Structure 1
Amino acid sequence: MRRILAAAVVASTLLLGTSAPAWADPPEPAASALPPGWSLDGADGQKQALTWTSDRLIPPGDAAVEFWSGDRLLGRAEGAADLRTFTLPQGRSGPLSDLQVRVGGKRVDAAAPKQPQRRAATAPSAGPAQPANPVDPGVKGPYATTTGEYTLPGVHLSDYPVPVEMQAVVVAPTNAPGRRPLALFLHGRHWTCFTGNDLDSISLAWPCATGSQPVPSYRGYLQAQQLLASQGYVTVSISANGINAYDNGDDDYGAQARSSLVRMHLAHWADWAGSGRRNAPAIVRKAPRADLSKVFLMGHSRGGEGVSRAALDSLTPPPAAQDDYHGRVRWTIRGLLLIGPTIFGQNPHPEVPSATILPGCDGDVSDLQGQLFIDASRGIGAGRALHSALYVIGANHNYFNTEWTPGQAIGPATDDFGSEEPDPLCTPGFAPTRLTPQQEQTVGATYIATAARLFVGGDDRARPLLDGSGVRARSAGPARVLTHAIGARRTPVIIPSQDLTVRNAKLCDQVADQPEKACLVNNSWVGGSPHFVAFAGPEPERVAVALTGGATATLRPATAMPVTGSKALALRLIVPPNAPATSFAVTVTDGRGRRTSLGSTTVTGVPGTELTTSYWAQEVRLPLPRSLRTIAGLEITPQGSGPAWLIDAWGWQPGSPAPRPAALDRVDVGGLTVDEGDAGSTTYSVPVVSHGRLKAKVRLFLSDPVTGDIRSWVAAVKPGASRVPVPIPVVGNTTYGGDQRYPLAAKAISNAVVGDYIGGLHVREDDPVPTVTVAPATAAEGSPLTWTLHLSAPADSYLYLLLAPQAPATGPELSSTDVDPEWFQNNSGEDPEPSRPLSGTGLQPFVEIEPGTTSVEFAVPTVADGVAEGAEHVRFQVLLYPPDFSDPIPAAIADGTLTD
């Protein structure tokens, strides 16, 4: 866990923006106005920096709060204690135009577009009921249960200022024979403390202040724990408030910290299952001994990414210097169930089976990035582990946890899905498709038990509920859950890549830097496809096939693909949300050129509005003839008029082979800090550590600190190699340009997993900041007061000047009504009336200084009032901000005098 490159590094993740403009012939710099809510003040107790203050409370959630300038990501902001103020301590240099705040892909700042036009004028239908699966894992088991809690001494995690609590609630079966499998639950990021019943009383502090109570998020899954315990599982749900309070300072948003916490709890359970049982907490001694060879993990939100990282770290230990757990691995993780998870690193372990719930009305992790637990596992390992996605229509993010649910939580709680107008799919009481809290929690419990029964219990009768077979669990009630999967006994037929020959269709980029190459151009602030969530730039490996209605697309892989033993051809297909039933005719050609029609299948659009992420692939299957041995070509003809996309196609047969986790190589990205130097070029290598015995590949993404351009390449990891070379030349000079940060991100392509996925090079500026000089200005009423600010030397990067009014040294002060009212309002966010001295207002004009510029004018337009008042004065403290918006420097005093 590292904080070495702060916001500039985490900005590289999910970074896909246009580069900054070229700087040839720059325009004349001019005074600028920040939009309403924006300032360079800094939050309470924080240093001055680019700051946005919301007019409403922004409850802490799992998605990142990002500052953007148009399509350019400036960085990820840190929240203040008031839960309204967000500050970018460091970020990318460039012009501050079209400032925006986005959370989970949605704009939340005052300038965000109002309610967009929805895709559906009427309420979308959830669709017809699915047939019931014969086996229902949501049915209570034969065992009575017992419940209790334990609290152990807190643990110290690197870079965390206070110990993290070791607290948990245990629900276990009674009178269950032998050792029992262990299920561990980890909640996500939520506020940590409260004092009253409304949201104004919440905080993200830890430990909680005197008079406030901790939010018991770990108690939010008792229904699922009781269900699993009745079926014979020992269950433990652990608390992570101490991580939630500080994880936004981690470059991976707490994934490594949560992994360490999970493994520390598992280490205790390993002790308690053996000779340490006599010292175990009372509730543990009342429970059956846990079988640590059968461990199941459930994670919600950032807890989902945390338990996934714990599985990865258990199979391939992290570098010791980057980990807080240093004990032996005495457990085997059999599978994961993830609810609305984040996956900022897009780094799942492909050999650990998983099922991921995607809430259709998720208002927190609204881009449904958890889809990448499935898609980013494809082609990395052996492909034996099942990876399933479950799209739950009408479910929000919070209500899977009772302590995040109004009416059930002991403290304040809220519905994370919000819209200014009633949404026909997701607004409670208005949309018939929206699930009640009880229905949502029952869905969660049912599918948690389903994943446990398949992954841990090995009961293949539960598989159809997860693998795209189109059946439902009776105990999940009226909820409609759509599923698709990869892995298990599937064999690849069409995996879109640059090697695929395509006719009458086109390969499109899931993550594109040019709209004409993109699979889906989404002009809304929300919506889109969870399959196309960006990581750190375009990825040539991530392509799909864009189909056109009425046209027969012909797809030919580089070699004929074996399908011996496959019972069906399974396709993952996307049609637009709410699209009517669309028929797809499918024909295959074998290795000898013989064509066989498989018939047709139908796909209906996932219910969606402009506020949901509903371009989601559904799995359909067509029977394959027994005699078919290979598929050398695939023809698909969409019968409708609209677009469609093929994500992939597989030979499918039933069954769940036991995963055999391969010893995949592990890659971790480190960080390096160096001084710039005054001359010459020095090449430094970012420490990218690898260990393993396979030939592996990872894609590396390196961001230019000046232009923001991202260069990516595929790096080969040689067997037994300890380093992946990433050379970066640094040219020294004697010109100030601020610290330069080269964020480096890594993503697995084959035979590897990536642990610490963010790092890079930090080049410290060793040249002095240019000084600023300015002469006093004088003007008559009605004329602008104009100053020319001079820099002692040009800079290599953007600099920013903030002019903060102060009381003048002598004479009466210029007032808010002495200056142009529109200019005052634009630069202060306040009304000029009543008249008051400028030093008592929120006035904050600022000036951008482009690279190479040594002087800039700043003007205050004044108004003539026709009253003889004598000379009036104004004084500005000029603060100079470095290119990354870090600590400002008091640079000069600008005095002005206005005469009658």
Structure 2
Amino acid sequence: MRKLLPLLSAVCMAVVLGPTAVGQPSAPPKPAGSGWRVVDGQVAWTSAKPMSGDAAVEFWSDGKLLGRARSSRDGRTFSLPGKALGDLGKVEVRAGGRRLDAPDPKFRANQAPAALPPLLPKGVADPGTPGPYQTVTGEYALDPVRLPGLDGPIEMQAVVVAPRNAPGNRPLVLFLHGRHGSCYNPNNPADQPFTWPCPAGTLMVPSYRGYLQTQQLLASQGYDTVSVSADAINALDFQAEDGGAQARSSLVRLHLAHWADWAGAGRASAPQIVRDAPVADMSKVLLVGHSRGGEGVNQAALDSLAPPPFDSGYSGPVRWTIRGNVFIAPTIFGQNPTPDVPSVTFLPACDGDVSNLQGQQYIDSTRGVSRGKALHSALYIAGANHNFFNVEWTPGESAAPSVDDYFPGDTPNPLCDPGQPARLTAAQQRAVGATYVAAAAHLFVDHELRVQPLLDGSGVRAPSADPARVLSHALGGDRTPVVVPDQSTKITGSGKLCDEINAATACLAGADQYKSPHTVSFTAAPTEAGRSAVDVRWSAAGTAAVIEPPRPVWLLGEQSLALRVIVPENSTGTSFEVAATDGSGRRTKLGKVTLNGLPGADRTMSYWAQEVRVPVPPVLQVAKLELVPSTTSGEAWLLDAHGWRPGLPDPDPAKLTRVDLGRVTAPEGDSGSKNYQVPVTVTGDAGGVLKLFRSDSTGRTWTEEALTLAPGQHTVDLSTTVVGNTRWSANYLVGAEIKAAKGTVVGSYQGGVLVTNDDPAPTITVTPTSSVAAGGALTWHVTLSEAADADIFVFGPFVAPATGPELSTTDVDPAWLRSWGIDPQPSRPLSTLSQLVLDGRIAAGAVSGDVVLQTVATGGQGADKHVALHVGAYPQELPLDTVLTGTVTAK
């Protein structure tokens, strides 16, 4: 049984955690509850209830990402193995950008949001209109399979909806749901075990049945559809460092392999519903993934083009062609999109799960990686939440208990709170989902260009999705890069270069930095190259920003210049003229654009780039691009500018080099030093460039560099030197992460060297009593028998003292209590607060430290008061289980 020790921040000192220990003995049981604890020898945060959502739980400090936490089997406990957390008083626990461990102070009070934008003009095609075919529906369940890294059987279950009597072979659309509960008790809504297989008396959550409306629409239009179950992966992916992306890819490819069999010689042995459906055309496959299912189908597309070089659970032949992906409110922890497979990404403006809308990186992170022929579209959907695209995640309609994921929070949100007029109903939201999934199918699978303007930033709508406001922008589709801001871009006038990932040169400051999906970070590194924009700020009309790319760009036959521009939320009438100057100094006015900010409020990601276009002549050279404001003051951010023409080229996938990282374990040793290599597997001969991020032994300091692979290069030197000694230290991870930059794709993006401690821990002693006058600091002195190479903590909860009266919340530092969400009033004994823990530390290299509790002055009034702490030590090799007592005298 897993046993827990509470661990919260120090009271009156900076607490710096050393590297967390891995796989150490369990501690004596202490009171349960939410908060910081030691779990199986690792510093961890425990939530009050299981976290079954899709967003990764992340630890942050001082505005910097420390890392994505690993979940325990119970779905409540999260840790960062091998990484130091630092001052726990500054550590924040987040998921999808929202604060989990305390009220979030970063958001300002709501201003009145702007009105929703008007409905866009109708497009020439409406893919939400049902087709001519009747449909047939049924399910299949095959023998379970085993997948590497997951400890349990994985179900092979799916629901099929297909056209009845449609002629010929039909395209196949496969759906994969995201991370949701796995089991439920139909007789007890509170009983929802997050485990697999489901215990007796419970049923599996039928998430895979949640897209039937979309499946029926597609089937009526002539598509075979199948939605597969992933409940086992949801229950078991806490074991996977990548959040289960590789496992979900393997599940998808296993199903596709069966469909390939059933389309050929194995059709006679196919399940009845498959034989009732038209034969699937496996050269025309569209994948649709919701939330973590989005990351799973992206990985499946990558693995289909560049198979993984390790055992992933499916190693058979690839007998299908992925024509496109649809990502519904997706995660993208690895920020490793498949650049040569077209995609559409849904970004629900009221997503309360993956609330930072990180799926934007399926568009942004493809820029410059490959040939740029595949279209990558983003759809910003006003009023949509995360869950309602799936009927089995919708309250009042689902078989298992479900919720509206948008969290009301402490500040009312006039845009997204349930029941607000700007919110879409569940039925409206599913209509949006069905319509735009069908749009992707018609465009990517059947090349119906009439549908393209719905997805590529052309500014039209599909009436079947009314009254939803759906805005689009896009990259790829063979657009010609004109301005892609970076350090080589010369900017003068009212513009300057800013960075999406760099606190010193950030494009957005203050609370606004948390309100853009374009600024979601990849690693804990403080910077990331290639993620810049042009910040245009002016205080007088006509003050131009002049942007000069590193070399002049010719536009030959393009129809428009497409710009992706962010303007402040709720702003109106931001307007500027666009002009181009060629290499000879000839200036051409291209047109005027006007933008209104997206409606925004507390916890909305409304700093999102809108696409605007200005016409260009048939032949134009751009040596300089000018943005000339028409308004008297304002600010806007230009993400990029591309030449655009109608049409959609073949994606023409390139033979990109695939790179995968691994992890190796290294004993520390007692002396000397030894080099260890981070395992790197390079598949393919084309070479390319990666962004390489590496951490130090604490996991808190990261560096970035460009890693260039020469053509034919298959080895990479990522060495780490491990120095041995005889002083105790926690296990630590020297981490490495990679991201594609040019000519590459990334499979496993995480790796490193895990260094294991092999030295005995020092002994520890604590002065058991302390006494101080009110207003002073109770201090218990802690001593080690010898210094250690990692921080050591003494900590514990308050317990009722043997004698009273007890120290209360109004007797201690109120700022400390409030930092943990505790109001000192009304006054109550400290031992009644189960989440409250006091701790102190001995810094690495030191032999002593203190546990300190600051009290407040009482003016000499009242009786003496008493306090008691039941303390233990971290790391848990240090045996300590004692009660500390203190007395605060009134005079």
**TM-score normalised over the length of structure 2:** 0.88
In structure 2, give the amino acid aligned to 1:382: R
Q: How does 1:258-273 map to 2 (within 5 A)?
A: 258-273=248-263
* Cα distance, 1:309 vs structure 2: 0.5
Asked if 2 retains the 8 angstrom alpha-carbon contact of 1:801 and 1:847, the reply is yes
Q: How does 1:603-614 map to 2 (within 5 A)?
A: 603-614=595-606
List runs of 5+ in structure 1 lacking aligned partners. Answer: 1-18, 24-33, 808-812
Paired with 1:546 and 1:614, the residues of 2 have a C-alpha distance of: 17
Q: Rate the CA distance shift 1:793–1:602 in 2: closer, same or farther, 3 A.
A: same
* Cα distance, 1:224 vs structure 2: 0.6
SS of 2:556's equivalent?
Answer: coil
What's the C-alpha RMSD, in Å, of the aligned pairs? 3.4
* Structure 2 residue aligned with 1:758: 750
1:531 maps to 2:511: no
Q: Rate the CA distance shift 1:820–1:865 in 2: closer, same or farther, 3 A.
A: farther
* Cα distance, 1:765 vs structure 2: 1.8
1:47 maps to 2:40: yes
* Structure 1 residue aligned with 2:114: 124
Paired with 2:825 and 2:123, the residues of 1 have a C-alpha distance of: 68
* Structure 2 residue aligned with 1:440: 429
* Cα distance, 1:531 vs structure 2: 1.1
Paired with 1:21 and 1:476, the residues of 2 have a C-alpha distance of: 52
* Structure 2 residue aligned with 1:61: 53
* Structure 1 residue aligned with 2:559: 567
Question: Bigger CA drift: 69-78 or 163-172?
Answer: 69-78
In structure 1, give the amino acid aligned to 2:622: I
* Cα distance, 1:336 vs structure 2: 0.7
String of CA shifts for 1:677-717, please: whole Å, max 9, x gaps. Answer: 33333332211221222230001000123371211100111
* Cα distance, 1:92 vs structure 2: 1.6
Task: Identify the match of residue 315 of structure 2 among 314, 319, 326.
Answer: 326
Q: How does 1:130-141 map to 2 (within 5 A)?
A: 130-141=120-131
1:880 maps to 2:880: no
Q: Rate the CA distance shift 1:700–1:823 in 2: closer, same or farther, 3 A.
A: farther
String of CA shifts for 1:742-774, please: whole Å, max 9, x gaps. Answer: 111101110000110111111112222222134
Q: What's the % identity of the aligned pairs?
A: 48
Task: Identify the match of residue 630 of structure 1 among 603, 618, 621.
Answer: 621
Question: Bigger CA drift: 708-717 or 188-197?
Answer: 188-197
Q: Rate the CA distance shift 1:422–1:332 in 2: closer, same or farther, 3 A.
A: same
* Structure 2 residue aligned with 1:348: 337
Paired with 1:889 and 1:223, the residues of 2 have a C-alpha distance of: 58
* Cα distance, 1:217 vs structure 2: 0.6
1:338 maps to 2:327: yes
Paired with 1:134 and 1:821, the residues of 2 have a C-alpha distance of: 66
* Structure 1 residue aligned with 2:506: 518
In structure 1, give the amino acid aligned to 2:709: V
SS of 1:407's equivalent?
Answer: coil
* Cα distance, 1:616 vs structure 2: 0.8
Q: Rate the CA distance shift 1:835–1:713 in 2: closer, same or farther, 3 A.
A: closer
Q: Rate the CA distance shift 1:529–1:844 in 2: closer, same or farther, 3 A.
A: closer
1:497 maps to 2:486: yes
Asked if 2 retains the 8 angstrom alpha-carbon contact of 1:178 and 1:288, the reply is yes
Q: How does 1:629-708 map to 2 (within 5 A)?
A: 629-640=620-631, 641-706=633-698, 708=700
SS of 1:443's equivalent?
Answer: helix
* Structure 1 residue aligned with 2:845: 852
String of CA shifts for 1:255-284, please: whole Å, max 9, x gaps. Answer: 101001000000110111111111111101
Paired with 1:726 and 1:798, the residues of 2 have a C-alpha distance of: 28
* Cα distance, 1:98 vs structure 2: 2.8
* Cα distance, 1:669 vs structure 2: 1.1
Asked if 1 retains the 8 angstrom alpha-carbon contact of 2:579 and 2:590, the reply is yes
Q: Rate the CA distance shift 1:636–1:158 in 2: closer, same or farther, 3 A.
A: same
In structure 1, give the amino acid aligned to 2:737: A
Paired with 2:413 and 2:885, the residues of 1 have a C-alpha distance of: 54
Task: Identify the match of residue 593 of structure 1 among 573, 585, 589.
Answer: 585
Paired with 2:474 and 2:485, the residues of 1 have a C-alpha distance of: 16
* Cα distance, 1:489 vs structure 2: 3.1
Q: How does 1:711-726 map to 2 (within 5 A)?
A: 711-726=703-718
Asked if 2 retains the 8 angstrom alpha-carbon contact of 1:37 and 1:110, the reply is no
* Cα distance, 1:337 vs structure 2: 0.9
Asked if 2 retains the 8 angstrom alpha-carbon contact of 1:772 and 1:892, the reply is no
Asked if 2 retains the 8 angstrom alpha-carbon contact of 1:83 and 1:203, the reply is no
Question: Bigger CA drift: 698-707 or 129-138?
Answer: 698-707
Paired with 2:253 and 2:93, the residues of 1 have a C-alpha distance of: 35
String of CA shifts for 1:466-522, please: whole Å, max 9, x gaps. Answer: 00110111111211111111111311111111111111144444333333x011114
Asked if 2 retains the 8 angstrom alpha-carbon contact of 1:143 and 1:173, the reply is yes
In structure 2, give the amino acid aligned to 1:846: D
SS of 2:430's equivalent?
Answer: helix
* Structure 1 residue aligned with 2:21: none
Task: Identify the match of residue 183 of structure 1 among 164, 173, 178.
Answer: 173
Q: Rate the CA distance shift 1:663–1:761 in 2: closer, same or farther, 3 A.
A: same
Task: Identify the match of residue 709 of structure 1 among 695, 701, 707.
Answer: 701
Paired with 1:840 and 1:507, the residues of 2 have a C-alpha distance of: 51
In structure 1, give the amino acid aligned to 2:507: C
Task: Identify the match of residue 164 of structure 2 among 143, 152, 174.
Answer: 174
* Cα distance, 1:589 vs structure 2: 1.4
In structure 2, give the amino acid aligned to 1:634: L
1:295 maps to 2:282: no
In structure 1, give the amino acid aligned to 2:249: S
1:113 maps to 2:102: no
* Cα distance, 1:313 vs structure 2: 0.5
* Cα distance, 1:594 vs structure 2: 1.6
* Cα distance, 1:735 vs structure 2: 2.5
* Structure 2 residue aligned with 1:790: 783
Asked if 1 retains the 8 angstrom alpha-carbon contact of 2:565 and 2:637, the reply is yes
Q: Rate the CA distance shift 1:792–1:213 in 2: closer, same or farther, 3 A.
A: same
Task: Identify the match of residue 395 of structure 1 among 384, 393, 408.
Answer: 384
Asked if 2 retains the 8 angstrom alpha-carbon contact of 1:701 and 1:711, the reply is yes
In structure 2, give the amino acid aligned to 1:533: V
Paired with 1:587 and 1:842, the residues of 2 have a C-alpha distance of: 60
* Cα distance, 1:41 vs structure 2: 4.4
Q: Rate the CA distance shift 1:837–1:373 in 2: closer, same or farther, 3 A.
A: closer
Paired with 2:394 and 2:257, the residues of 1 have a C-alpha distance of: 32
In structure 2, give the amino acid aligned to 1:851: A
Paired with 1:237 and 1:226, the residues of 2 have a C-alpha distance of: 12
Question: Bigger CA drift: 766-775 or 468-477?
Answer: 766-775
Q: Rate the CA distance shift 1:390–1:805 in 2: closer, same or farther, 3 A.
A: closer
In structure 1, give the amino acid aligned to 2:429: E
Asked if 2 retains the 8 angstrom alpha-carbon contact of 1:785 and 1:896, the reply is no
* Cα distance, 1:718 vs structure 2: 1.7
1:160 maps to 2:153: no
In structure 1, give the amino acid aligned to 2:243: Y
In structure 2, give the amino acid aligned to 1:799: I
In structure 2, give the amino acid aligned to 1:690: V
Paired with 2:828 and 2:601, the residues of 1 have a C-alpha distance of: 47
* Cα distance, 1:150 vs structure 2: 0.4
Q: Rate the CA distance shift 1:48–1:865 in 2: closer, same or farther, 3 A.
A: farther
SS of 2:173's equivalent?
Answer: strand
* Cα distance, 1:857 vs structure 2: 3.3
String of CA shifts for 1:707-730, please: whole Å, max 9, x gaps. Answer: 712111001112222222212222
Asked if 2 retains the 8 angstrom alpha-carbon contact of 1:199 and 1:413, the reply is no
String of CA shifts for 1:649-702, please: whole Å, max 9, x gaps. Answer: 111110001111110000111111112233333332211221222230001000
Question: Bigger CA drift: 838-847 or 643-652?
Answer: 838-847
* Structure 2 residue aligned with 1:195: 185
Question: Bigger CA drift: 185-194 or 68-77?
Answer: 68-77
* Cα distance, 1:142 vs structure 2: 1.1
Paired with 1:841 and 1:354, the residues of 2 have a C-alpha distance of: 48
In structure 2, give the amino acid aligned to 1:252: D
String of CA shifts for 1:589-642, please: whole Å, max 9, x gaps. Answer: 12333211112111111121122001111111111112x242211111122322
* Cα distance, 1:890 vs structure 2: 2.0
